[in-house]
Amino acid sequence: MTATLSLPRHHSASDTPVGHADAREILAAAIAILDQGADLLRALPAATYTRKVPAVFDASIGGHIRHCLDHFLSLLRDLGASEVNYDHRQRDPRVENEPDFARALTLQLRALLLELSEETLARPVTARCEVSYSHGHSPATGSSFGRELVYAIAHAIHHYALIAVMARLMGAELPAHFGVAPSTVAYERRKA
């Protein structure tokens, strides 16, 4: 027996505009994910934040937080730009090594999101990101600001799951539901 796949009809960004309710939900989710990060940064001692964990590629929680915030920064640093380039992330070592600095940046990003209009999420952008292991070219794809914000949220959720594993390996306490995808939380609520 072989599986049969059929490709759906092509949709352009204008076929599926971001509605006001969806835009509000996306913005609320972005704020919530940054709030989760700020709660974690408030709860973790600096030594835990910067400690490298050999079992997880010798990475630190601070490195993952920096990586997540870099994606939000790539999107928010120039709101008027027509291109979001994830290859040009800032990679500021202070975010990785200073939890207070990371928390301040998180709160700045949160404040920027609170100022965004719902119309901003419908704005078309080109997203550029290196996806090939043979370096040299970063393909560009058509997108919208809202879609890229959804990407930054989903990206952070997955890194938060890694952070949760790392924190548990170090015996650290985590805020409730930290690192758990919203769909998993909803599924668990329905089961209960």
Q: How many structural domains does the chain have?
A: 1
Residue 180 lies in a domain: yes
The distance from CA 150 to its chain's CA centroid, rounded to whole angstroms, is 8
Q: Is the pLDDT of residue 95 over 80?
A: yes
Rounded to the nearest 10 degrees, the angle between the axes of helix 20-43 and helix 61-76 is: 150
Residue 147 lies in a domain: yes
Q: CA 96 to CA 62: how far, in whole Å? A: 4
The pLDDT value recorded for residue 177 is 83
Token couple for 157: 């959720």
Q: CA 62 to CA 45: how far, in whole Å? A: 11
Residue 7 lies in a domain: no
The pLDDT value recorded for residue 93 is 97
183 pLDDT band, cuts 50/70/90, is confident
The pLDDT value recorded for residue 169 is 94
Q: For the segment 55-66, what is each residue's pLDDT rounded down to a tens digit? A: 989 999 999 999
Q: What is the mean pLDDT of the chain?
A: 89
Residue 157 lies in a domain: yes
Tell whether the torsion through CA atoms of 74, 78, 79 and 81 is positive or negative.
negative
Residue 43 lies in a domain: yes
**Parallel/antiparallel/unpaired status of strands 140-144 and 59-60:** unpaired
175 pLDDT band, cuts 50/70/90, is confident
How buried is residue 63: exposed, middle or buried, by Cβ count under 10 Å (0-12/13-18/19+)? buried
The pLDDT value recorded for residue 13 is 47
Q: CA 129 to CA 75: how far, in whole Å? A: 12
Residue 29 lies in a domain: yes
State the amino acid at position 111 in one-letter form. A
The pLDDT value recorded for residue 182 is 84
Domain span at 51:
19-126+139-191
- Mean pLDDT throughout 6-27? 68
Q: Is the pLDDT of residue 79 over 50?
A: yes
Q: Is the pLDDT of residue 52 over 60?
A: yes
Number of Cα atoms under 13 Å in the Cβ half of residue 147: 17
Residue 132 lies in a domain: no
Q: Is the pLDDT of residue 136 over 60?
A: yes
Residue 105 lies in a domain: yes
Token couple for 59: 């990475």
- Mean pLDDT throughout 158-184? 91
CATH number of the domain within which 187 lies: 1.20.120.450
Q: In which residue are the tokens 């901003």 written?
A: 120
Q: Cα-atom radius of gyration of the chain, to the nearest Å?
A: 18
- Mean pLDDT throughout 115-139? 89
User: Of the ranges 81-90, 104-113, 128-137, which is most confident?
Assistant: 104-113
* pLDDT: which is higher, 88 or 7: 88
